[in-house]
């Protein structure tokens, strides 16, 4: 009876999707100096309480927003572009009267959501830059960014300074972090030895980092999901992924990682270890990791200095790759992007030069027109799990793409059929949310029992994608259900082992 009742409820959901009808309070934020703080921090009642914690603060395209010092909200913030044609709203650091450039641009003490905004630690009037763009300031909070730019900081794009936090970054560009001077600064994500709940990075483009993508420095991360990302020009390394509960690392293209090379011939770009309590093996598959030939040929090789090209995977990750039978899915194909930063041969040679003490900058010439797509003639073009290109799909006009810098805004709710179907062990599910708000996306077995929660919480409007991993489940039929406002719909998928 329990099975029949569960299937009946799911059949009703499949047959009768309901339309959502809910509104959300909108507040327009004018461009200028200090308006982010004055409008958002000042949006209170006469008693000092927030008017509405679910308010969406809308910033305008082709507009510059100068912070009056760091922006440090102690309440949930939801921030979006107005979505009109034009350049993203750009937030930079301002220098308070009589003060100096602050260390951080955005310092949330509560959940922070943004879509279509350019955040940078660049200071006004070319007066320098802060050390970090985002810095977590409270335990157990979530920062979720969609279709944003994070740029121009001397140390890190994100610093996770507190415990049990969640960071979700999708369809974003993270670029121009750090100076190539050997200090170790220039990181996209810096966890500072803390325990992190989740780090989710998908369909992003990350380039021109003086150091590496992930720097832990101790601590642990329960869940890491790094999928369909394009990475280019990393100075000192790649990914420090130690004490990880679960790791999914797939469908990425990575050019010139650790372009400074290494004096240790056994060094590796990806350094991995599993949490002692973890039981699910990591996934490393369908990645292209390569270094330009000109860069390798230019590495110094003298009696006093010999530079080696690091290995792609360390011994631990290599073991799991072999054990899962995925060795052939990871390739090292040389790929030329349509228009990316040039190979940093001059930066590397200058770094090792005994006659130079001034670091050279990485290439940003005509950066606004960079294009990380590549020809369909490369193996990488169809080497992802589902036969799509490796790297961020934004550059190929595929479902998650942004066309002409204009945000993709769905006209209605939509739940797509998973692909592939049947699947083993992973499958992708795309769904559209036309309005920002609370979304629940869960997977059930035929008994109506919950087997996975793919999303549960606030999501910004847009096209989203989830990956369902059934490696620990039995073969059979499963149902995935999307709920948002008054809308509810479910679909069927088949796990076939």
Partnered with residue 207 across adjacent β-strands are 175, 232
* CA 133 – CA 112 distance, rounded (Å): 13
* CA 419 – CA 122 distance, rounded (Å): 41
User: pLDDT 10s digit of each residue in the chain, 497 long?
Assistant: 333 333 333 333 333 232 233 357 899 999 999 999 999 999 999 998 999 988 999 999 999 999 999 999 999 999 999 988 999 999 999 877 667 778 899 999 999 999 999 999 998 877 788 999 999 999 999 999 999 999 999 999 999 999 999 899 999 999 999 999 888 899 999 998 999 998 999 999 999 999 999 998 889 998 898 999 999 999 998 999 999 998 989 999 999 999 998 888 788 999 999 988 777 889 999 999 999 999 999 988 876 778 888 889 999 999 999 999 999 999 999 999 999 999 999 999 999 987 778 999 999 999 999 999 999 999 999 999 778 999 999 999 876 533 322 234 566 788 888 888 888 888 888 888 887 788 899 999 989 899 999 988 877 777 788 889 998 999 999 999 999 887 888 899 999 88
CA angle 131, 135, 139 (to 5 degrees): 155
Handedness of CA 347, 349, 355, 357 (dihedral sign): positive
Task: Give the model's pLDDT for residue 375.
Answer: 96
Provide the whole-model pTM. Answer: 0.78
* CA 196 – CA 215 distance, rounded (Å): 12
CA angle 245, 200, 256 (to 5 degrees): 100
Handedness of CA 114, 123, 404, 384 (dihedral sign): negative
| Nearest C-alpha neighbor of 258 from the set 196, 205, 213 | 213
Q: What is the DSSP string of 367-396?
A: GGG-B----TTSGGGG-STTSPPSS-GGGG
| Nearest C-alpha neighbor of 260 from the set 199, 326, 307, 314 | 307
* CA 390 – CA 250 distance, rounded (Å): 9
- Is residue 197 helix, strand or coil? strand
Which residues have C-beta within 8 Å of that of residue 150, sequence separation ≥ 6? 119, 120, 133, 134, 157, 158, 169, 172, 173, 174, 175
Are 66 and 94 contacting, i.e. CB atoms less than 8 angstroms apart?
A: yes
Are 139 and 103 contacting, i.e. CB atoms less than 8 angstroms apart?
A: no
Dig out the tokens for 410 from the structure: 């769905």
* CA 149 – CA 207 distance, rounded (Å): 12
Which residues have C-beta within 8 Å of that of residue 137, sequence separation ≥ 6? 72, 107, 108, 109, 161, 162
Dig out the tokens for 332 from the structure: 């090292």
Bridge-based pairing of strands 426-433 and 462-469 is antiparallel
- Is residue 286 helix, strand or coil? coil
Task: Give the model's pLDDT for residue 473.
Answer: 93
Dig out the tokens for 125 from the structure: 């009037």
Cβ neighbours around 290 below 10 Å, total: 18
Partnered with residue 423 across adjacent β-strands are 495
Dig out the tokens for 252 from the structure: 């990425």
* CA 372 – CA 378 distance, rounded (Å): 14
- Is residue 410 helix, strand or coil? coil
Kindly report the length of the chain: 497
Dig out the tokens for 39 from the structure: 């409008």
């Amino acid at each position: 009876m329990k099975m029949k009742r569960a299937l009946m409820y799911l059949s009703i959901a499949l047959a009768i999707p309901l339309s959502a009808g809910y509104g959300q309070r909108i507040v327009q934020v004018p461009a200028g100096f200090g308006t982010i703080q004055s409008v958002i921090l000042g949006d209170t009642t006469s008693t000092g309480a927030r008017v509405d914690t679910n308010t969406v603060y809308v910033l305008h395209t082709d507009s510059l927003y100068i912070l009056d010092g760091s922006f440090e909200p102690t309440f949930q913030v939801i921030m979006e572009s107005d979505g009109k044609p034009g350049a993203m709203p750009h937030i930079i650091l301002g220098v308070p009267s009589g003060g100096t450039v602050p260390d951080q641009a955005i310092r949330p003490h509560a959940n922070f959501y943004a879509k279509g905004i350019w955040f940078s630690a660049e200071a006004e009037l070319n007066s320098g830059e802060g050390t970090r763009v985002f810095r977590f300031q409270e335990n157990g909070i979530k920062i979720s960014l969609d279709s944003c730019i994070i740029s121009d900081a001397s140390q890190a794009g994100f610093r996770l300074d507190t415990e049990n936090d969640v960071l979700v970054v999708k369809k974003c560009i993270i670029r121009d972090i750090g100076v190539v001077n050997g200090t170790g600064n220039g990181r996209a994500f810096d966890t500072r030895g803390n325990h992190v709940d989740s780090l989710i990075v998908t369909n992003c483009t990350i380039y021109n980092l003086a150091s590496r993508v992930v720097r832990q420095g101790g601590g642990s991360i329960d869940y890491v999901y790094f999928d369909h990302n394009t990475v280019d020009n990393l100075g000192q390394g790649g990914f420090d992924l130690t004490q990880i509960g679960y790791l999914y690392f797939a469908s990425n293209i990575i050019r010139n990682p650790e372009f400074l090379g290494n004096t240790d011939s056994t060094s590796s770009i990806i350094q991995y270890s599993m949490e002692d309590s973890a039981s699910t093996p990591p996934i490393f598959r369908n990645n292209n990791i390569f270094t330009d030939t000109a860069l390798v040929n230019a590495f110094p090789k003298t009696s006093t200095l010999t530079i080696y090209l690091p290995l792609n995977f360390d011994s631990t990750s290599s073991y799991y790759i072999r054990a899962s039978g995925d060795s052939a899915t990871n390739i090292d194909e040389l790929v030329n992007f349509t228009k990316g930063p040039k190979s940093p041969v001059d930066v590397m040679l200058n770094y090792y030069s005994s006659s130079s003490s001034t670091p050279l900058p990485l290439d940003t010439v005509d950066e606004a027109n960079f294009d990380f797509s590549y020809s369909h003639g490369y193996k990488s073009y169809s080497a992802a799990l589902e036969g799509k290109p490796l790297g961020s799909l934004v550059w190929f006009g595929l479902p998650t793409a942004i066309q002409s810098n204009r945000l993709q805004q769905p006209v209605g709710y939509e739940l797509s059929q998973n692909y592939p179907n049947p699947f083993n062990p992973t499958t992708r599910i795309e769904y559209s949310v036309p309005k920002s708000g609370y979304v629940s996306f869960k997977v059930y077995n035929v008994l109506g029992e919950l087997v996975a929660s793919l999303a549960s919480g606030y999501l910004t409007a847009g096209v989203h994608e989830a990956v369902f991993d059934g490696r620990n489940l039995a073969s059979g039929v499963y149902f995935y259900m999307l709920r948002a406002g008054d809308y509810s719909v479910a679909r069927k998928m088949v796990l076939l082992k």
